[in-house]
């Protein structure tokens, strides 16, 4: 367990080295989060006010609900994939020895708009189908469908790096992602799991520390101290989440480079990346 954690921490440090060189990469997950909030509000506020969800717990739910969910998923996935493409595109420039800018990331993402939209439709279709099946399945069925969803997540892990780096459509990108993962994934997804573990522990520690500080602030009875403490806690939490998202994007770019070229790029130890996804015999 300690060895896995040590390996994961080394991976985070290498990803952080890239992020330190290009702090502007944090702009992409920040804008993605803001746009996702706007999209969710623009969909769900009118839907709730219009009573679309009134019969969703009934045996025969409103068919328009699935149309609504599909449209929402398409737009939401498009936003997420677009900004992730910009992030990974900029990270690829750094890993190739260049010095990317935010404009470079957006330029790359804009050049891939048709493929991004196509992949958003595919992801939305999968999401709606899995959701519909889960609502109709029992406990065991939901567990199996959950595993199918996990398999889809794993198979599509490198889709965005493929879209960014190759002139292919969304379907071919999914196929290529699955092919690359067959070569490079094993029993332990130490890469993304390691980053998630490290930041999960960080968020847990922050929650304990922040909770304690908020309790102390409340005990003072001074409104300004309470508000300042809460705002500081929220900002620290958001910063951790943004850094995690950026590091995962950098790692995805590095893993793609390793899978296709045999080396991960600047700031990465190739042996470490090779161990992150244990190669099948």
Give residues with Cβ within 8 angstroms of 134, minimum separation 6: 141, 142, 145, 146
pLDDT at residue 82, as a whole number: 96
Contacts of 149 (CB under 8 A, 6+ apart): 130
pLDDT band at 187 (very low <50, low <70, confident <90, very high): very low
Can you tell me whether residue 280 is helix, strand or coil? Answer: coil
Helix (H) or strand (E) holding 197: helix 190-220
What is the domain range of residue 260? 2-276
**Is 281 part of any domain?**
no
Q: Which residue carries 């290498």 as its tokens?
A: 14
Asked if 264 and 258 touch (Cβ cutoff 8 Å), the reply is: yes
User: What are φ and ψ of residue 277, in 5° steps?
Assistant: -120, 100
Quick: pLDDT tens for 126-176.
888 887 777 776 667 777 777 777 777 777 878 999 999 988 899 999 888
* Cα(203)–Cα(131) distance, integer angstroms: 29
Q: How far is CA 265 from the centre of its chain?
A: 21
DSSP string, 44-63: HHHHHHTTTTTTTTSSS--H
CA atoms of 131 and 145, how far apart (whole Å): 9
| 3-state secondary structure at position 19 | helix
Of 1-10, 89-98, 244-253, where does mean pLDDT reach its minimum? 1-10
> Does some domain include residue 212?
yes
Tell me: pLDDT of 189 over 80: no
Which residue has tokens 């957006």?
A: 106
pLDDT in tens, 236-270: 999 888 988 898 888 888 878 877 877 766 666 66
For the question of whether the overall pTM of this predicted structure is more than 0.95, the answer is no
* Domain assignment present for 216: yes
Q: Report the mean per-residue pLDDT for the chain.
A: 81
**Residue 281: per-residue pLDDT:** 44
Report how many domains make up the chain.
Answer: 1
SS3 277: strand
């Amino acid at each position: 367990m300690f060895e896995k954690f040590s390996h994961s921490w080394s991976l985070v440090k290498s990803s952080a080295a890239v992020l330190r060189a290009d702090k502007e990469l944090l702009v992409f997950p920040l804008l993605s989060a803001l746009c996702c909030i706007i999209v969710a509000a623009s969909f769900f506020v009118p839907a709730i006010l219009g009573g679309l969800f009134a019969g969703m717990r009934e045996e025969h739910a409103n068919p328009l609900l699935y149309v609504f969910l599909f449209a929402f998923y398409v737009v939401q996935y498009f936003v997420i994939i677009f900004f992730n493409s910009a992030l990974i595109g900029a990270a690829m420039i750094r890993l190739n020895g260049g010095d990317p800018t935010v404009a470079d990331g957006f330029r790359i993402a804009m050049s891939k708009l048709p493929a991004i939209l196509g992949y958003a439709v595919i992801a939305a279709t999968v999401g709606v189908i899995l959701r519909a099946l889960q609502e109709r399945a029992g406990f065991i069925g939901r567990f199996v469908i959950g595993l199918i969803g996990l398999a889809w997540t794993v198979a599509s892990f490198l889709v965005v790096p493929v879209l960014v780096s190759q002139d292919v459509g969304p379907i071919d990108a999914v196929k290529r992602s699955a092919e690359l993962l067959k070569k490079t994934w094993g029993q332990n997804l130490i890469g993304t799991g390691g980053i998630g573990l490290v930041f999960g522990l960080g968020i847990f520690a922050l929650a304990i520390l922040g909770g304690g500080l908020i309790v102390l602030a409340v005990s003072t009875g001074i409104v300004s101290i309470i508000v300042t403490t809460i705002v500081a806690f929220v900002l620290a939490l958001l910063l951790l989440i943004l850094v995690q998202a950026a590091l995962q994007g950098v790692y995805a770019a590095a893993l793609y480079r390793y899978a296709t070229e045999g080396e991960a790029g600047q700031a990465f130890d190739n042996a470490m990346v090779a161990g992150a996804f244990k190669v099948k015999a």
